[in-house]
Amino acid sequence: MTGTTDAPQRSLPWWEAPLATQPVDAVLSVPGSKSLTNRYLVLGALAGGGSRLRAPLHSRDAHLMLAAVRALGASVEEIPGDGDFGPDWRFTAAIPTDTPDAGGAAEAPRSVDCGLAGTVMRFVPPLAALTSGPVRFDGDEGARRRPMGAVLDGLRALGVEVEDNGRNALPFTVHGTGSVTGGRVVIDASASSQFVSALLLAAPRFASGLRLEHAGPPIPSLPHVEMTVQVLREMGVVVDDGTPDVWTVEPGAVRPFDVAVEPDLSNAGPFLAAALVTGGRVTLTGWPEHTTQGGDHWRHILPAFGATVTRGPDLLTVTGPTHLRPVDLDLSAAGELAPTVAALAAVAPGRSRLHGIAHLRGHETDRLAALREELTRAGAPTTETEDGLVIDGGDLHAADLHSYADHRMATFGAVLGLVTPGVRVEDIATTAKTMPEFADLWARMLAGLA
């Protein structure tokens, strides 16, 4: 099966991926979780009342979410914190909800730039529906290709007016009336777990709460839905998720909070992968004891390649094997890890199979097509299946690897480059979507300084 790739037409700078001259040996910390930061920003916008995010992620996706909740009327100030990667955020006012629609015809629409952030384009429209007046959403060119239908149809089923010229995609305008009645909604969330999270996060403020049902093929990335349920419960919201594919959220207040954001375990992936491909050792600090982050799956994925994973208090250490083994993995629960897993499979001699990830075609780019193209270009012949990739690894060579404006395609290239002379990665700065510090941290890891 083949797809089309959308390698950029513009000429972007090339980054010479550093080659590891010896096994890496580093202890490092990574910035905060995108998924948690952007959920807390949404919940802070509903709670207000001095809610504080400690050590939040400072990246393009997080700053777009911050700008979005501010555009909807929340007030957030930056205050010094203890995090290594930037200041804390404190809400001084929630978004105004339950305000009657002023009649609004002449009101200029507020606008939300979604960039390429799935969390912004999916989580913010239901918030916009709770405020009064039109809100126009748009984003990067690539964002207009990402699936949105289930959120927009879900909102329409709840009585919210959404104007999208029949595209079911960005750009669109949500016409908020200051309140959403709520009730029962059925959606197909097989293209993204974010459709479920989006409606659940705003649901405590729907007048009669929400009963959300999924009907369709299985939902991918289920730990992200569990994360949504957990953060809602932490803020005092009553959620029932006892029946598979059905969630009920009781109407009620979102309690103001003070939380420390966990490190981003998905973004820890390329650094852990460095230990595997170089036969070295990498320790991540701040690894949570319990977490809903999909990135916690590294503890199970990396041993399949032959790595040893050990836990210490607040630490995870990964030691690479002498030779990587090929793998056969279902990544449906943690699809965002697939580009890094694919890089490891390309280094491992033999045939690896990744499945359960058809929905990656709707991520930042069509990741199955992009990975097929770039892996094959680098000497690991790859084919697409209906729901994954078959990768023949072990014989990589120099290549110029495209990043498709996708942070995880860029870090994928960096992993290949560690053990393959002559790899260049296009536009490493695209990692700013979730980790602006990537190239710097990568260099520090290689220097043993991190």
Ligand X SMILES: C=C(OP(=O)(O)O)C(=O)O
User: Which stretches of the chain bind ligand S3P, using CB under 6 A?
Assistant: 35, 118-119, 192-194, 197, 220-221, 224, 335-336, 359
CB neighbour list of residue 435: distance below 8 Å, 6 or more residues apart: 30, 31, 59, 264, 267, 407, 441
**Which residue intervals of 103-245 are DSSP H helices?**
118-129, 149-157, 194-202, 222-234
In terms of CB distance, is 33 or 177 closer to ligand S3P? 33
213 included as an active-site residue: no
Choose one: 78-86, 114-122, 289-297, 350-358; the region binding ligand X (CB under 6 A). 114-122
Handedness of CA 408, 412, 415, 420 (dihedral sign): negative
Of 221 and 248, the one with the shorter C-beta distance to ligand S3P is 221
* Interaction of residue 228 with ligand X, rule CB under 6 A: no
CB of 143 to ligand X, least distance (A): 9
Size of the site for ligand X (CB under 6 A): 8
What does residue 311 show for φ and ψ, rounded to 5 degrees?
Answer: -110, 140
Q: Is 91 or 412 the residue whose CB approaches ligand X more closely?
A: 412
**Which of 52, 36, 88 is closest to 230 using CA atoms?**
36
Instruction: Point out which span in 41-49, 115-123, 163-171, 292-300 binds ligand X (CB under 6 A).
Output: 115-123
What three-state secondary structure class fits 449?
Answer: coil
Closest contact distance (angstroms) between CB of 53 and ligand S3P is 15
Q: Considering only residues 88, 336, 392, 437, which one is a binding residue for ligand X as defined by CB under 6 A?
A: 336
Report yes or no: 174 and 207 within 8 Å, Cβ to Cβ: no
* 60 interface partner picked from ligand S3P, ligand X, none, CB below 5 to 8 A per type: none
SS3 237: coil
Return the residue nearest ligand X (CB atom).
118
Sheet (strand 183-187) strand order: 183-187, 210-214, 246-249, 239-243
Instruction: Look at residue 190 and give the partner it binds from ligand S3P, ligand X, none, a contact being a CB closer than 5 to 8 Å depending on partner kind.
Output: none
Q: What element of type H or E holds 46?
A: helix 34-47
The token duo for 266 is 């998905």
Query: Which CB sits closer to ligand X, 57 or 419?
Result: 57
Q: Which entry of ligand S3P, ligand X, none binds 125, CB below 5 to 8 A by partner kind?
A: none
Beta bridge partners of 400: 424
Q: Supply the minimum distance, in Å, between the C-beta of residue 411 and ligand X.
A: 10
The rounded distance, in Å, linking the Cα atoms of 68 and 42 is 9
- Residue 68 lies near ligand X (rule: CB under 6 A): no
224 binds, among ligand X, ligand S3P, none (CB under 5 to 8 A by kind): ligand S3P
Query: Does the footprint of ligand X cover residue 119 (CB under 6 A)?
Result: yes
| 295 binds ligand X per the rule CB under 6 A | no
Q: Of residues 336, 364, 373, 426, which has the active-site annotation?
A: 336
Site for ligand X contains 33 (CB under 6 A): no
Task: Determine how many CB atoms are found less than 10 A away from the CB of residue 156.
Answer: 13
Q: Which residues contact 392 (CB under 8 A, 6 or more apart)?
A: 350, 351, 380, 381, 382
Q: Which is nearer to ligand S3P, 224 or 281 (CB)?
A: 224
Q: How far is the CB of 127 from ligand S3P (least distance, A)?
A: 15
On whether the CB atoms of residues 220 and 214 are closer than 8 A, the answer is no
Closest to ligand S3P by CB, 118 vs 280, is 118
Binding string, residues 353-372; x marks residues near ligand X by CB under 6 A: ----------xx--------
From ligand S3P, ligand X, none, interface partner of 221 (C-beta below 5 to 8 A by class)? ligand S3P
The answer for residues whose C-beta is within 8 angstroms of residue 254's C-beta and 6 or more apart is 43, 46, 47, 204, 205, 232, 235, 236, 237
Instruction: Kindly identify the residues of this chain, within the stretch 407-436, that bind ligand X according to CB under 6 A.
Output: 408, 434
Strands 172-177 vs 183-187: parallel, antiparallel or unpaired: unpaired
- CA 396-402-406 angle, 5° bins: 115
Q: From the list 46, 57, 117, 201, which residue makes contact with ligand X (rule: CB under 6 A)?
A: 117
Write out the residues near ligand X by the rule CB under 6 A. Answer: 117-119, 336, 363-364, 408, 434
Please list the active-site residues: 336
